[in-house]
Structure 1
Amino acid sequence: MTSGVVYGVDFSGASRAGENIWVTEAVAEHGALTVRDCGRADDFLADYYDSDPSTDRGPTLAALAAFVRAHPDAAFGFDFPFSVPGRVAAEAFGADSWRAVVAAVADCEDADAFAEACVEGVGGDADDTYLKRDTDREHGAFSPSHFFVQHQTYHGITGVLAAVADVARVVPFDALGDGGPVVAETYPAGVLDALGLHREGYKGTDDDHRTRRRQNLDGLAEAASVTVPDRLRETYLDDHEGDALDSLLAAVAVFRNRGDWGHDPESLAGRIYV
């Protein structure tokens, strides 16, 4: 993809996910990325809820999946783990393909059951707790079953990926030839690392936190040719949780990897794109 619309999604598996999920829309063209919109899920996705917009997790994730399905020519970056380590996939879930992993995770009753299966399915010893994928180690990410992110992993896979896998091209597992929206796993902290920006210290209410958010925005313009209109710049600066900025970083990851997704249909663990 050398040009086109990209979306970055800062994901949440919390019960009030609509309060924490942010979406950035941007257009990639002529080697640059121009941001067009950014908003919280319950506002950005308002037209895609089955009824009135809600901050509840179920309706919000359904709206998010509907949004992906409605944009077949776009590329999406989501910041939750798309899979589990290969050993966990094979031994805990008996999976021999990524889609079999998705089905097995969806069979878990909830996020706690998912995390428990990941540990107990490979023996449950101390050394087996919170196994990481190679791509997690490469980018300093948590294990997909770590208690910090188990809800993101479980609800991202079951609430979004399972709902779009029949139409989306989920990379690197799927080839792009059949069309459909491209869906990629991203990691905002890894994007900041790759661009030499502030991986830490930009989330918070202090002046120093806001300064680092501003420096990260300025750095994206210089290091990745990202243009943010003034009207949206304040949105990224004012969100002290950093979720709005993380959605932009997810879009930047898609922009940086467009046309170079790779294709690994035999992979069980997947890849983080930064």
Structure 2
Amino acid sequence: MKGNLEKVPQRIGASWRYRKIVEEKKSYGWHRHKEYEIAIHRHFSGSCFIGHSQNDVSHNHMVLIGPDLPHAIYSNDSSSQQKSTSCETHVIWFRQDWIEQLINCCHELAPLKKLLSEAKYGIQFSSHTAEKAVALLEPVLDLPPHQQLTQFLSMLALLLEDKNAQKLINALEPAPEDEVIVERIEKAEAFLMKHFAREIAVQELANHLYISESSVRRLFQKHYNESFSQHLKKIRLNVACDLLINTQLPINIIIQRVGYDNQANFNRQFKAYKQVTPSAFRTAMKRH
């Protein structure tokens, strides 16, 4: 799920890049960028995958994605049939070194540090913020460069003011003294993402982290607010969703690839998670 590294072309004479994309369908498999990305999806429904999280897309779905964070986006077939220009996306990219230099030079931008730090988990903003951001972006390419930058900074201010913004990937909010805990969380997550397709016992992860089995259980309950088994199941089902959308693999093969050996059990857990069967999910999300 690492995703292909895509190079974002830079605009000559500009420190950031903006594109408005209108297309009949939205179907972008796993990819990532060295830059931060802000995406606003409008006039269509679908699914957005960021890291091991998956959430539904509806009108004015807005996310901030950190550098090197894998993500994918798909529209539903039904949404693309409703309007000829149903899939509209506004995308902004900006480099990490540039925004950090800007923050260091302008003390007024210091609050951005926390926001950009949390972008490594993916952040979703309210539809109200998305609507206001689009109003800022629509005329931006017709403005002189200095006014374009002003519009960009105004949009960042909107993100900071959104009280309903939420991280998409469960993660520890560390204090400086919690570096050991942070390292364990990251090491545990990497282990599960690498081995989720096979049976993983809590004791195996405990051995990998050099802690007790009970400590592993407390770690997941405290910092993910879910059990080890719930977290592992979520990873498997989200990967299954991506395979159903982005491949033609038979469902029985997908079941094996995400670590299930019983189709009835997989179907039951998938339906509980997505409220539809795997085959119905694939039909609704199938690509043209």
TM-score between both structures, scaled by the size of structure 1: 0.27
Whose helix fraction is larger, Structure 1's or Structure 2's? Answer: 2
Whose strand fraction is larger, Structure 1's or Structure 2's? Answer: 2
TM-score between both structures, scaled by the size of structure 2: 0.26
RCO comparison, higher one (Cα < 8 Å, 6+): 1
